[in-house]
Amino acid sequence: MSAHETVEITGHLMDHGILSRVLDDIREYSGDYTIDRFDVGRETDDPSHAVITVTTDDNESLERLLMRLQTRGVNQVDPGEASVSAADVDGVFPDHFYSTTNLETRVRIDGVWLDVGNPEMDCGLILERDSAGRPHRVYTLPMSDVRAGMLVITGASGIRVTIPTPDRTAGAFGFMESEVSSEKPQAVLVRQVADGMREAKAEGKKVLWVAGPGVVHTGAAPAMVALVNAGYVDVVFAGNALATHDIESSLYGTSLGVDLAMGRGVEHGHEHHIRALNTIRKEGSIKAAVDSGVLTGGIMHALVTHEKEFVLVGSVRDDGPLPDVYTDVIEGQRAMRAGIADVGFCLMVATMLHSVATGNILPASIPLVCVDINPATVTKLADRGSSQARGIVTDVGLFLEQLAVELVPEYRRS
């Protein structure tokens, strides 16, 4: 009664450990495999191609394994046609719904291959048909947004997933692959992030920042303001804390220099914090506070002044919060999804929560760098599906300082 299917994968399978992980997955899902064919790239730059027959105890296990393998870019040799079921209830996918990856995905419906426009992890795939009943488009949708009657792709058939070619990522942002000077790695890393941002801007793309309050605590706010002014910050995703600490610092000049020395943030205690929140709530919004002259400096002020977008999403630990904060996290996620359009480079600094949240919705094709002094944050990002994520364990304050020096010639330490 065992079930089996033949799958294939193409790419730099060995030199990036992909095939190892594929075989690990098969074992983890209690499957067995036979490698039917393995055409190895002979030269350093040639891609390899593997054809593998996987076997499991029953069809259900097989289906789950096949969906799992697609997160690695492993597709069925004979993909067949995608199956579709209508959702019965709002917010619930049909059984056996296909769970998405953040990789480029195509779906075959009625013999036609359709591209999925907005790859995102852990969503369902929704099929829209045109008035003639022909497949019109397929897009990812999070579980909470599905509505009864929507057509949802089920099973793993009829789906092809493509892992990014290293060249392409390297073109945009070739961290590990590139020549790394033996002399000043930290300067090289700063320059590579700077280059990634310059390239994104040159291609007319946006630069997304995901930032935590550590940016303010480590004294990097002036550097970030300089980068906003110079046009290297197009969209900011953050929580209540970054914005509040930044505003508190502007309103009260609270010295948080001690934090850097001690390596940890003073959490509460400063009632300045709660007063800053009340002040902005009184104004009605951060923009209103800027317009009325109440808020005259800092990161949020710079964003408002340059009409840059920011999405602040709340968390259960928030005081206040600021009037601009989404207190409903699902609405916040929707705002973030809207915010990633046209993003060509993403820098995450000093935040675990919002970095993971952003990693959840970013397509794998967008270069992504995570900077934190805590290796756990960097590892957590890198562990996730995002093959494009690069981590830098360093001091956020010094890193942004150097990034500003690199990108903004007129920025100088005073």
By the rule CB under 8 A, 4 interacts with its own copies: no
Q: Which range of residues in 131-139, 158-166, 272-280, 301-309 is near its own copies by CB under 8 A?
A: 272-280
How many Å apart are CA 91 and CA 294, to the nearest integer?
42
For the bound state, the minimum distance from the C-beta of residue 23 to its own copies, rounded and expressed in Å, comes to 4
Based on the shown chain and the rule CB under 8 A, indicate whether residue 169 belongs to the binding site for its own copies.
no
The answer to the question of residue 167 lying near its own copies (CB under 8 A) is no
Give the H/E segment covering residue 24: helix 18-28
Q: Is 262 in the site for its own copies (CB under 8 A)?
A: yes
Separation of alpha carbons 361 and 118, rounded Å: 9
d(CA 294, CA 303): 15
Provide the minimum distance between the beta carbon of 78 and its own copies in the complex, in angstroms, as a whole number: 20
Token pair, residue 240, equals: 């209540």
Number of residues that bind its own copies (CB under 8 A): 127
307 is a site residue for its own copies (CB under 8 A): no
Separation of alpha carbons 103 and 119, rounded Å: 6
Which span (78-86, 106-114, 198-206, 329-337) binds its own copies, by CB under 8 A?
329-337
Taking the complex as a whole, the smallest distance from the CB of residue 234 to its own copies amounts, in Å, to 20
Cβ(89)–Cβ(57) below 8 Å: no
Among residue numbers 276 through 305, which ones bind its own copies (CB under 8 A)? 277-278, 281-282
Q: Rule CB under 8 A: choose which of 173, 175, 345, 411 binds its own copies.
A: 175
Q: What is the CA radius of gyration of the chain?
A: 24
To its own copies, the closest distance from the beta carbon of 295 in angstroms equals 16
Residues 37-96 that bind its own copies (CB under 8 A): 38, 40-44, 50, 64, 67-68, 71, 89, 91-93
Residues 6+ apart with CB under 8 A from 328: none
> What is d(CA 309, CA 206) in angstroms, rounded to the nearest whole number?
11
Return the SS3 of 402: helix
Question: Min. distance of Cβ 372 from its own copies in angstroms?
Answer: 9
Q: Is 131 among the residues that bind its own copies (CB under 8 A)?
A: no
Task: Note whether 211 binds its own copies by CB under 8 A.
Answer: no
Smallest separation, CB 303 to its own copies (Å):
18
What the block records as the tokens of 45 is 């730059």
Measure the CA–CA gap between 400 and 223, rounded to whole angstroms. Answer: 6
Instruction: Record the tokens describing residue 171, joined without a space.
Output: 């073109």
Look at residues 381, 371, 366, 404 and name the one whose alpha carbon lies nearest to residue 102: 366
Q: CB of residue 112 vs its own copies: minimum separation in angstroms? A: 26
> Which span (78-86, 132-140, 174-182, 337-345) binds its own copies, by CB under 8 A?
174-182
User: Computed from CA positions of residues 224, 229, 235, 236, in that sequence, does the dihedral angle turn out positive or negative?
Assistant: positive
Question: Dihedral of CA 291/340/361/158: which sign?
Answer: positive
- Contacting residue, 212, 214, 239, 367, with its own copies by CB under 8 A: 239
Q: Does 112 bind its own copies (CB under 8 A)?
A: no
DSSP assignment string, 110-160: TTEEEEBSS--TT-EEEEEE-TTS-EEEEEEE-GGG--TT-EEEESSTTEE
Contact range with its own copies by CB under 8 A, out of 28-36, 73-81, 125-133, 285-293: 28-36
Site string for its own copies, 336-375 (x = CB under 8 A): x----------------xx-xx--x------------xxx
Residue 330: CB minimum distance to its own copies, A: 5
E runs forming strands in 341-412: 343-349, 368-372, 389-393
Interaction between residue 412 and its own copies (CB under 8 A): no
Among 47, 254, 285, 288, binds its own copies (CB under 8 A): 254
Please select the residue that binds its own copies; options are 118, 309, 385, 408, rule is CB under 8 A: 385
